């Protein structure tokens, strides 16, 4: 049989040593920093982190001008450490988890906060709030063979040069081995999967013309600019 049409190629990210990292799926951890859980109105001692998914095509490289998406008036940044999976596994133990990591990058989990809150408060799925076109900007993926497995170090985000998020990777409620162990209980992780590990406190809205920079100690920055309304 011949295909009726061609789909776009699988999305890919770039590594710090000039290779292509094909992106298979995107997992995102929610409420993984206590101060952020509290700013979202939740008690981190009573509600553990969790995860949701996004399409691989939401991943865009650092340097992209992303369109302001439709159906929101409260589009937010979330700075995150991103884990790139290089080895498949299911029900991975915390002890083995780091063997499954190819590398690490800075990233953003851009969010239609108004739609996310509406969904959350009505007990509906989060797709329209989170699985947003161009909503997963990603910096270069640094191989763990070069940078190790960062578990401490500054994670910061600026908007037009002003610091808005300023925390430390040590503040993660679930660290990287715990995140990998948890997600892999539900899904077999595969090469090319990305796990956005959650954002610290200080999230907020963006407007057209803003420049957002995420920095994590030892990794390349992820920089985006916010463009005009999608389709406008
Ligand atoms: Mn997030």
Q: From ligand 1's centre to the CA of 81, what distance in Å?
A: 10
- SS3 of 97, please? helix
Instruction: Using the mean position of ligand 1's atoms as its centre, give its distance from the Cα of residue 122 in Å.
Output: 19
Cα 39 from Cα 69, distance rounded (Å): 24
Is 18 exposed, middle or buried, given 0-12, 13-18 or 19+ CB atoms closer than 10 A?
Answer: exposed
- Band of residue 217 on the pLDDT scale cut at 50, 70, 90: very high
Q: What's the pLDDT band for 73 if we cut at 50, 70, 90?
A: very high
Q: How many CA atoms lie within 13 A of 196 on its CB side?
A: 33
Q: How far is the CA of 78 from the centre of ligand 1 (A)?
A: 6
Q: Output the CA 80–ligand 1 centroid distance in Å.
A: 7
pLDDT for the residue numbered 221: 98
Distance 3 CA to ligand 1 centre (A): 37
What is the structure's pLDDT at 231? 77
Specify which residues 112 forms β-bridges with. Answer: 75
Distance (angstroms) between ligand 1 centre and the Cα of 198 equals: 4
Q: What is the mean pLDDT of residues 131-151?
A: 98
Instruction: State percent of the chain over pLDDT 90.
Output: 93
> Which whole number is the average pLDDT over 105-131?
97
| Mean pLDDT, the chain, integer | 96
Ligand 1 centre to CA of 28 (Å) is 6
Domains annotated on the chain, with CATH = 12-229 (3.90.850.10)
The DSSP symbol for 37 reads H
What is the band of 44 on the pLDDT scale with cuts at 50, 70, 90? confident
**pLDDT for res 182:** 96
- Residue 19 region, left (φ>0) first, then alpha (ψ -120 to 50), else beta? beta
Over 80: is that where the pLDDT of 232 sits? no
Confidence of residue 46 (pLDDT cuts 50, 70, 90): confident
Q: What is the pLDDT of residue 154?
A: 98
Tokens of 143: 């191989």
Model confidence at 45, pLDDT cuts 50, 70, 90, reads confident
pLDDT value of residue 56: 98
Helix (H) or strand (E) holding 142: strand 142-143
Give residue 230's pLDDT band: very low, low, confident or very high (50, 70, 90). Answer: confident
CA 4 to ligand 1 centroid distance, Å: 37
The arithmetic mean of pLDDT across residues 195-218, rounded, is 98
pTM for the whole structure: 0.97
Please say if the pLDDT value at position 67 is more than 80.
yes
Q: How far is the CA of 65 from the centre of ligand 1 (A)?
A: 20
């Amino acid at each position: 049989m011949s295909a009726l049409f061609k789909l776009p190629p699988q999305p890919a990210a770039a590594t710090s040593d000039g290779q292509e990292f094909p992106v298979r799926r995107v997992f995102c951890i929610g409420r993984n920093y206590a101060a952020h859980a509290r700013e979202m109105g939740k008690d981190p001692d009573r509600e553990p982190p969790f995860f949701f998914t996004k399409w691989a095509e939401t991943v865009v490289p650092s340097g992209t001008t992303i369109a302001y998406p439709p159906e929101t008036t409260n589009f937010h940044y979330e700075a995150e450490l991103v884990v790139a999976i290089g080895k498949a596994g299911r029900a991975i133990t915390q002890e083995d988890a780091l063997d499954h990591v190819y590398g690490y990058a800075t990233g953003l989990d851009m969010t239609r906060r108004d739609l996310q809150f509406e969904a959350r408060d009505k007990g509906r799925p989060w797709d329209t709030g989170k699985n947003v076109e161009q909503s997963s900007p990603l910096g270069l993926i640094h191989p763990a063979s070069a940078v190790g497995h960062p578990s401490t170090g500054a994670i910061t985000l600026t908007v037009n040069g002003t610091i808005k998020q300023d925390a430390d990777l040590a503040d993660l409620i679930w660290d990287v081995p715990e995140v990998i162990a948890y997600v892999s209980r539900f899904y077999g992780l595969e090469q090319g999967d990305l796990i956005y590990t959650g954002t610290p406190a200080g999230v907020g809205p963006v407007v057209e013309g803003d420049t957002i920079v995420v920095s994590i100690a030892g990794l390349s920055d992820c920089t985006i600019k916010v463009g005009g309304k999608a389709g406008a």
